[in-house]
Chains A and B, each alone.
Chain A
Amino acid sequence: MIKSLKDCTVSGPFKTLPSSAAAMGFSLSYQSDRLGLKVTDAGNHADRGIFSFGFSAPQVRPINCVITGWGDCDQPGAITESMMQAACGLMSVHGRSTGTIQPFGLPYVSTVTTALALQGGMAAALGNLRGLSVSESHISMAAAALLSTSQYIADATITSLSESLPFGDADYSPAPPFVSADGIVFELETLNPDPWLIFWMKLGISRPLAGKGWTAFLLRYAKAIAPIPDELVRAVSKLAYTDISRLCADAGMAICRVRTLDERVDNEHFKSNWLRGPWVFDYAAPQPDFPLIPASDSLPLSGLTVIESCRRIQGPLAGHLLALLGAKVIRIEPPGGDTLRGMPPVSEGCSVRFDALNRLKVIREIDIKSPGGQEEITEMVRHADVFLHNWAPNKALELGLDHADLHRVNPALIYAYASGWFMNNEGISSQSPSLPGTDFMVQAYSGVAHKISQACGTRGGTLFTALDVLGGIIAAQGITAALLNRQLSHAGARVTSSLLGAAILLCSDDFQSRHEFFDCVPPVQSVLNQVFETEKGKIAIECLDEDTLQRLIQALDLPSGDENELSQRLDESFLSRTAAEWRVILQQAAVPAAIVMEDLNDLYGDPCLQPYLETGSYTRVTSPWRFQ
């Protein structure tokens, strides 16, 4: 919690939001409270969009933060989580590994939207403190959802011919997780092919087949699929979990059981993490001669400099968001450039998946392992506002680039660490698992994978990199909060976030339901949340209450019946018209419905999404924020 932000206020209609916005209201309230902001209920602000909230900081004009569904396309009626997952491509990315397009059972777009909205409000206030005159920050759920899938959109929409990844032709199971002979569901993880090969050979799998499995395993991050050969899945299913764990230990491969949320929410350690929120802040002493750095253009973080040394998704996305807010981001890459620049597909000499997160940055190639390189970084940091990294635990200390090292040369620095598991600033908690800090490990450990499996009827989580993306967003949000705090208190800070923190944020309503820590009601489950086949295309329906379900039944002219009959009748009825026709009918009946975007190439064709997309050698997702 940032004590210095206690004079900042978030005021919104938290107690009067409709059920369709309850998840957003709860998440926004939780995030604000954990940042140390004063949260007040201020009646209904829904003059525009879904709702709006005020963000006020001392000495500057307050910011009206507006959250809409589709931006200018909003029409009367509820806009729900599942509509957004369907219309913006999240469901289809999630469904790639299971073969079934369906909602993935988390308030994902709602959480991402509110995190970005709160960040927008804080950034705008910071901009005002630095000479701007911003009165409004606007974000839509659609923009937030598209931002979440920007790498997949880049991959799908490349216009030039590029290399494709080998899929192999083996029979395959849909995806990990694996299941042991004693019925335990688990994930495996390694970033290196050697442990993978050793492990599978111990199970009697041939080298070529293990190789096919490795190729499939690599596709998880690139394509959100994992066509693991059936032989591997069967081999591992013949052993007990303890035996598999032992083989993993021998081979050097990580293993994590898919744990239930129930196992997590009653755990005292989890409780303290939840009560702290997804960030850990430490403050340096206030600087008496802290200079005012004026904004250099109309964007709120313009004039500020961020030094980023990050790889993969979480850290680079955090840097990208700060760049979208106007910061100058200098990205440190190893000599010769980040190898992921060549990750297929490539256009104009650069991986489009890489470009989607790094296109706005200035690149500096520096060998961070050399004394000269470390000296160069330290010198760059002397004049920077933020240093952001996502190195492995303890690496910063080894490199002489830890927060203490860099605060010595720049006491006003915001030192940010976007980690996998890191949950406190005193060292890795003894209760954090010694597992690789990757998306799918954290999903399994945190209960997120199990929650998704319960909603989807699958064994595990999603191969959409949900936590990497949300982890990047909360890292950028924490940095923005620390920058605002610095402007108000003239103190630098260290801010640590993690994928595990992102997982906790994503499931914060589960904890609230159990422990009722806050004075607010967590969102309720929908009575119907399903995707239906139609004559042409699929349609996602989300009925948040019984009244809406009855309106759906009337709109479809169905007789009343029991639940099983209703399900069958819905399946049959939706086949009689196209998804586009049903959308019009259901809009009139005030039933939340959206056409499922099955092909990410079609996103740009939706006029409601076009304002957030930009075509070129691939389709780029533009800034989710609009400031006035």
Chain B
Amino acid sequence: MSVTVIVPTILRSLTNQQKHIDMEGSQVSEVIDHMDQQYPGIKEKLVANGDAHRFINIYVNDNDIRFQDGLATSLRDGDVLTILPAVAGG
């Protein structure tokens, strides 16, 4: 599956300042693995102990993957995978 990954500002130093990256993968975890091959170091920013890092939000088409199947969330052609750092405050 071909998907577009939107990279947050804070991680763009790892992606040669690219904001949008086209990647392949049938699950979120596969996409992250492929990203890590191309942009080493990005996986450890996104994944901790086999799950999405607590302070990272990953959305597939605006749906938080923690409310789907986590890193095993399946992807379809044309999906947009958005990575956002923590948004909570207070």
- SS class, residues of chain B in contact with chain A: mixed
Answer yes or no: A130 CB below 8 A from chain B CBs. Answer: no
**Chain A to chain B contacts (Cβ below 8 Å), 16 pairs:** A151-B89, A168-B62, A208-B63, A214-B66, A215-B62, A222-B88, A313-B89, A339-B86, A340-B86, A343-B89, A344-B8, A346-B10, A349-B9, A353-B89, A439-B90, A440-B90
Residues of A in contact, count (CB < 8 Å): 39
Residues of B in contact, count (CB < 8 Å): 21
Closest-CB distance, B52 to chain A (whole angstroms): 10
Which A residues are CB-close (under 8 A) to B10? 341-342, 346, 349
Least CB separation from B7: chain A residue: A163
A162-B9, A163-B6, A163-B9 in contact; A343/B87 too (CB < 8 A)? yes
Which B residues are CB-close (under 8 A) to A344? 8-9, 84-85, 87
Which B residues are CB-close (under 8 A) to A339? 55, 85-86
Answer yes or no: B68 CB below 8 A from chain A CBs. Answer: yes
List CB contacts (< 8 Å) of B74-90 with chain A.
Answer: 82, 84-90
B-to-A contact residues, CB < 8 Å: 6, 8-10, 13, 55, 59, 62-64, 66-68, 82, 84-90
Answer yes or no: A210 CB below 8 A from chain B CBs. Answer: yes
List CB contacts (< 8 Å) of A584-612 with chain B.
Answer: none
* 5 cross-chain pairs, A with B, having the tightest CB-CB distances, nearest first: A211-B67, A342-B85, A221-B89, A342-B10, A339-B55
Which A residues are CB-close (under 8 A) to B84? 163, 165-166, 344
Closest-CB distance, A188 to chain B (whole angstroms): 14
Question: B90 to A166, Cβ gap below 8 A?
Answer: no
Complex CA distance for A448 and B43, rounded to whole angstroms: 44
Which B residues are CB-close (under 8 A) to A340? 85-86, 89
Which A residues are CB-close (under 8 A) to B66? 193, 197, 211, 214
Which A residues are CB-close (under 8 A) to B68? 207-208, 211
Which A residues are CB-close (under 8 A) to B82? 163, 166
For A503-547 the 0/1 string (1 means CB < 8 A from B) is 000000000000000000000000000000000000000000000
Which A residues are CB-close (under 8 A) to B63? 208, 211-212
Question: A214 to B89, Cβ gap below 8 A?
Answer: no
Q: What would 4 more interface pairs be, CB under 8 Å, given A197-B67, A313-B89?
A: A214-B67, A215-B59, A340-B86, A468-B90
